[in-house]
Structure 1
Amino acid sequence: MPMVCNACGWELAFNSPEYFAYHEKQSLLKKLYSEANSLTTDYLQRLINFMEVEILKTGGSEGFQEFVGASSVMLEVFSKIRKVAPTDLPVLILGESGTGKELTALAIHERSLRKDKPFITINCAAIPEGLLEAELFGYERGAFTGAYASKKGKFECAGGGTIFLDEIGDMPLSLQSKLLRFLQDRVIERIGAIGGKKVDVRLIAATNRDLGSAIAEGRFRNDLYYRLNAFTISLPPVRERGEDKVILARHFLNRFCREMGLTKTFTGEAIEAVRAYPWPGNVREMINKIRRAIVMAEANSISQQDLDLAAQQTMDVSKDTGLRDAIEKIEVQKIKETLNTCGNNISRAARLLGVSRQSLYNYKKKYGI
């Protein structure tokens, strides 16, 4: 055990090659403490926010500026992105709505050899079945009524780059077979075309559905699943990211305040509410609540009420309730309140909840609302 100075408490390891670095660090820490001791609580909170997000880069692993998190589950996600990005493997991203599936796909593309080529996104749940094939694979002039000119599909537009198929669990069975053929021979066929065309494109797919159940129910092809599942990245919901919830909230608060030219901080109560709330809408819901809170807060401090995280939303569950039951109870309560507020307008309610319209329909079906 090294000797310690009785006056200052510093180690007296003079022969250690690291001594001078240690001495310099301790001197700077002492100065920092002296300066911080004279600051108000508000300025100290700003300093902590700045250190966490801007200096320590707690808001994301290096090279992942748009990702926020330092928990083990998120570090594992960063590691998987680094490993799969340089390859041409198809990737399947799994996670609840609002967890950052498109951001993950973009991170893979930007770290791949295709980064200078197009990154094309298409949501399979947002386009009617009759139009989705034309959007993906294109069509020839005269292929159907209204096809007055030939049109490239998304696969052709993404040539040399990456195509991201979001909500692939909602893709119709008829199109799943055509996608499977593309994965096998890398050839696409426009509607109405006589032959196919070779296309060099990397496929990344994502879904918030349980594909295992979809396969069992005959709604998703087993062979397509195994083609897509060459490499899987599972994104954890915000409620399972521990202290990352607070880091996320501070990251978005600082980012939006900079955009608006404001300076605001969270109160202690607001931080505790962020920790306790299960965030059923995940990151998307957090972004919406923080944007709203910045507008609603009359002072420089953002309260629990500004965030619209009432005490009953975060803690109104019995002590004997399991975690899953507690989360479901809060989700049902929040969805019902929002639907009532919006007069059952699904689009508006989905925006307020920070989820997609399809996800809200899924929640309603799940809970019988």
Structure 2
Amino acid sequence: MTSILGCLLLLVGLPFVGLRALAQDQPDAVLKVFQFPADRIPRIDGDASDWAMVPESYVVDASQLRDDTKKHASANAKDLDVHVKVGWVKGLNRLYFLYEAYDNFWDFSDPGLHNDTFEVVVDGDLSGEPLNPRFRLNAKQPEADARASMFGTGAQNYHIFTPAEGKDWAMVLGCQPWIKELPYANHAQRYSFKHGESGRYTLEFWITPFDYAGCEGPVRAVESKLYEGKTIGLGWAVIDYDGAAVNNGFWNLSSQHTMYGIASQLRAFRLMPLEAGLAPGIAARWSFKVLDVGRRVVAFEDESVGAATWKWDFGDGSTSVEQHPVHAYKGAGDYVVVLTVTGPAGSSRLSKVWDVSLR
């Protein structure tokens, strides 16, 4: 059955290719987002040493970009060389970036848009939505209404100035400039060159992707939930100025130039599990949810690493060897629940004291 979105696309003369294909560019070439351990979250200080643990397989370099201006058939490291790593941390709805670049002419004296730029676009829920009013599906929708309803609301665009000297670090393309400030973003940069000189530049930052970030501000904003195995839409372009009024290249990760305004043209990135050597061999982990408050029915979810067997002690004299048990408590109380797991790497136990509190 054709979806409502598919019908809309047909009405405006665009092909319907299915939601998954619509929501990503080059769907057969999924890129990776590195998972940092919770005790090794990168410090945002412009020092790239925190990223040394990230394997080369996660690096997106200049060879994977194409110049949409067609001034350059391929990247020349003597002119512009770029390396990007993207990371995440389980439990935080943040995307971490390390941007390292060499440029033979750093252009950043203008207080406006004329600045070497790292333009990042993120679609945290693969909505594939347009994020620029000029690409709205309903051509009859008034410009003002389109700006209020879609300009960066479902996907977000950051023009990050490299370097930002005497100006804010980024411009948000939309009506929500608050997303580039704490507690939704943070940044730090390091460089020693002056305008017009060559040199190497390092930028560390993190941003919060949003399923909804409206013009009314953060009061109704909905952060994109990040979890292991999730695929998000993400893309970037490097806009290279060399002193002239027109840029010397628009180096795009997407095969579509208009990815800056259409989220369906972003690349697919997958949030990866911890790499071998960073994950523990075995670790008991679990969560729970009260399904029925009146009957005191609780569902327990195993989240352990390396487990092959499970033993639950529900704290009321009852036990279970199921991986994801459901238990009904007979009386009110504050319970100490213990999960013990075993596997090839040994055994592990995790108790939570009075987290399961029933009335």
Common topology (TM > 0.5): no
TM-score, normalised via structure 2 length = 0.21
Indicate the structure whose relative CO is greater, using CA pairs within 8 Å and at least 6 residues apart. Answer: 2
Higher strand share: 2
Higher gyration radius (CA): 1
TM-score, normalised via structure 1 length = 0.20
